[in-house]
Amino acid sequence: MDPAAKKPKLENESANSSYHGMFYHLRLGMVILLHSYNLHRKGTLPHLSITMEDCEAGKFDDIVIRYASSTTPKGTIYIQAKHKLSSENTKPLTEGDFFTKKASSTPFSIPMYFRSYLDHYRPASNGSHAYLLCTNATIDDKMMQYFTQRHYD
Q: Give the model confidence (pLDDT) of 133-143 as tens digits.
A: 888 888 899 99
**pLDDT average, residue stretch 66-94:** 84
> Is 144:95 a contact under the CB 8 Å cutoff?
no
**What is the span of the domain harbouring residue 21?**
13-146
**pLDDT average, residue stretch 115-127:** 80
> Is 114:131 a contact under the CB 8 Å cutoff?
no
Residue 26 lies in a domain: yes
Q: What share of the chain is helix, strand, coil (3-state, %, to 5)?
A: 35, 20, 45
Name the residue with higher pLDDT: 111 or 64: 64
Residue 61 lies in a domain: yes
Strand order in the sheet with 63-68: 47-52, 63-68, 75-82, 128-135
> How many domains does the chain fold into?
1
Alpha carbon separation from 101 to 92, 94, 104, 139 (Å, rounded): 19, 14, 5, 19
Name the residue with higher pLDDT: 108 or 16: 108
How confident is residue 6, by pLDDT bands cut at 50, 70 and 90? very low
User: What integer pLDDT is reported at residue 32 of this predicted model?
Assistant: 92
Dist CA 126 CA 107 (whole Å): 30
pTM reported for the whole predicted model: 0.77
Dist CA 120 CA 57 (whole Å): 7
How confident is residue 122, by pLDDT bands cut at 50, 70 and 90? confident
Residue 8 lies in a domain: no
How confident is residue 83, by pLDDT bands cut at 50, 70 and 90? confident
Residue 98 lies in a domain: yes
How confident is residue 13, by pLDDT bands cut at 50, 70 and 90? low
Angle at 86 between CA 83 and CA 91, to 5 degrees: 95
Residue 6 lies in a domain: no
How confident is residue 9, by pLDDT bands cut at 50, 70 and 90? very low
